[in-house]
Structure 1
Amino acid sequence: MKKLIALVASAVMFFALLGSLGFESTKAEVQLSTEKETKSVRTHASTVEDLLDDQGIKVEPHDELSHNLDDTITTGMQIDYQSAKQVTVKVDDNTEQYYTTADTVQQFFEAEGISIEERDEMSHEQASSIQDGMEIQVQKAFQVALNDGGETSEVWTTANTVSDFLKQQKISLKELDRLKQKDTASLSKEQNEVTITRVEKVTDVIEEQVDYAVVKRNDKSLAKGKEKVVQDGEEGQVVKHYEVTLENGEEVERKLIKEENKKDSKDKIVAVGTKVQQVQQAQPSQQAQSQPSRSNSSSGVQKTLYMQATAYTAYCTGCSGVTSTGINLRANPNQKVIAVDPNVIPLGSKVWVEGYGYAIAGDQGSAIKGNRIDLFMSDKGAALNYGRRGVQVKVYGN
Structure 2
Amino acid sequence: MITYVKKLLQSTSKKKIALATGGFLVLSGMTGYASYEWTKETVTLYTNGKEQKVRTHANTVAELLKEQNIKLKEEDFISPSPQTKIVNHLTVKWEASKPIVLIVDGVEKKLRTTAKTVKDVLHIQQIELREHDQVSPNVDEVVKENMKIVISKAFPITLNDGGKQQQVWSTSTTVADFLAKQHITLRELDRVQPTLNEKIQPNTKINIVRVEKVTDVVEEPVNFVVVQKKDAQLEKGKQKVISEGEKGIVAKQYEVILENGKEVSRKLIKTETIKPSKNRIVAVGTKVAQPTLASRGSDEVAQELYVIATAYTAYCGGCSGTTATGVNLRANPNAKVIAVDPRVIPLGTRVYVEGYGYAVAADTGANVKGYKIDVFFPDKSTAYRWGKKRVKIKIIK
Partner of 1:145: 158
Q: Whole-Å Cα distance in 1 between the matches of residues 47 and 91 of structure 2?
A: 11
Q: Whole-Å Cα distance in 1 between the matches of residues 360 and 96 of structure 2?
A: 113
The question of 1:276 aligning with 2:288 is answered yes
Name the stretch that deviates more: 65-74 or 207-216.
65-74
Name the stretch that deviates more: 172-181 or 336-345.
336-345
1:168 offset after TM fit, Å? 0.9
Q: Whole-Å Cα distance in 1 between the matches of residues 172 and 84 of structure 2?
A: 54
Name the stretch that deviates more: 161-170 or 316-325.
316-325
Partner of 2:5: none
Q: 1:363 to 1:37 in 2, by over 3 A?
A: farther
Partner of 1:344: 349
1:162 offset after TM fit, Å? 1.0
1:361 offset after TM fit, Å? 5.8
1:65 offset after TM fit, Å? 2.5
Q: Whole-Å Cα distance in 2 between the matches of residues 361 and 307 of structure 1?
A: 16
Partner of 2:32: 19
Q: Whole-Å Cα distance in 1 between the matches of residues 360 and 269 of structure 2?
A: 43
1:314-349 deviation line (CA, Å, top 9, x unaligned): 523234597776379xxxxxxx98436895226xx5
Partner of 1:33: 46
Where structure 1 has 5 or more consecutive residues not aligned to the other structure, the ranges are 295-302, 329-335, 353-357, 379-385
Q: Whole-Å Cα distance in 2 between the matches of residues 14 and 155 of structure 1?
A: 86
Which of 90, 96, 117 aligns to 1:104? It is 117
The percentage of counterpart residues that share the same residue type is: 36
1:290-329 deviation line (CA, Å, top 9, x unaligned): 6xx44xxxxxxxx52599999867523234597776379x
Q: Whole-Å Cα distance in 2 between the matches of residues 360 and 157 of structure 1?
A: 85
Other structure's SS at 1:40 match: strand
Give the aligned length: 355
The question of 1:304 aligning with 2:288 is answered no
1:29 offset after TM fit, Å? 1.0
Partner of 1:64: 77
Q: 1:279 to 1:154 in 2, by over 3 A?
A: same
Matched-pair contact (CA < 8 Å) for 2:304–2:395? no
Q: Whole-Å Cα distance in 1 between the matches of residues 144 and 256 of structure 2?
A: 63
Q: Whole-Å Cα distance in 2 between the matches of residues 343 and 178 of structure 1?
A: 70
Partner of 1:75: 88
Partner of 1:91: 104
1:102-130 deviation line (CA, Å, top 9, x unaligned): 22211121123210124212222212233
Other structure's SS at 1:252 match: strand
Name the stretch that deviates more: 75-84 or 207-216.
75-84
Other structure's SS at 1:222 match: strand
> How do 1:172-187 and structure 2 match up within 5 A?
172-187=185-200
Other structure's SS at 1:117 match: coil
Other structure's SS at 1:50 match: helix
Q: 1:29 to 1:374 in 2, by over 3 A?
A: same
Name the stretch that deviates more: 208-217 or 120-129.
120-129
Q: Whole-Å Cα distance in 2 between the matches of residues 209 and 309 of structure 1?
A: 31
The question of 1:210 aligning with 2:209 is answered no
Partner of 1:331: none
Where structure 2 has 5 or more consecutive residues not aligned to the other structure, the ranges are 1-11, 323-328, 341-345, 381-387
Partner of 2:319: 318
Matched-pair contact (CA < 8 Å) for 1:47–1:72? yes
1:123-179 deviation line (CA, Å, top 9, x unaligned): 222122334544322111122211111122222221111111111111112222222
1:79 offset after TM fit, Å? 1.5
Q: 1:318 to 1:51 in 2, by over 3 A?
A: same
Matched-pair contact (CA < 8 Å) for 1:312–1:374? no
Which amino acid in 1 is paired with 2:229?
R
1:234-292 deviation line (CA, Å, top 9, x unaligned): 11122222222222111222222222222221111111111123436979xx89x96xx
Partner of 1:395: 394
Q: Whole-Å Cα distance in 1 between the matches of residues 172 and 31 of structure 2?
A: 76
Matched-pair contact (CA < 8 Å) for 1:338–1:360? no
Q: Whole-Å Cα distance in 2 between the matches of residues 253 and 89 of structure 1?
A: 54
Which amino acid in 2 is paired with 1:69?
P
> How do 1:123-138 and structure 2 match up within 5 A?
123-138=136-151
1:10 offset after TM fit, Å? 3.3
Partner of 2:233: 221
The question of 1:240 aligning with 2:252 is answered yes
Q: Whole-Å Cα distance in 2 between the matches of residues 86 and 361 of structure 1?
A: 115
Q: Whole-Å Cα distance in 2 between the matches of residues 363 and 99 of structure 1?
A: 112
Other structure's SS at 1:17 match: helix
1:40 offset after TM fit, Å? 1.2
Name the stretch that deviates more: 129-138 or 239-248.
129-138
Which amino acid in 2 is paired with 1:304?
E
1:183 offset after TM fit, Å? 0.9
Which amino acid in 1 is paired with 2:184?
I
Matched-pair contact (CA < 8 Å) for 1:325–1:363? no
1:43-63 deviation line (CA, Å, top 9, x unaligned): 112222222221222333333
Q: 1:80 to 1:327 in 2, by over 3 A?
A: farther
TM-score normalised to structure 2 length:
0.76
1:187 offset after TM fit, Å? 1.3
Matched-pair contact (CA < 8 Å) for 2:174–2:199? yes
1:186 offset after TM fit, Å? 0.8
TM-score normalised to structure 1 length:
0.76
Matched-pair contact (CA < 8 Å) for 2:337–2:361? no
Q: 1:64 to 1:178 in 2, by over 3 A?
A: same
Partner of 1:159: 172
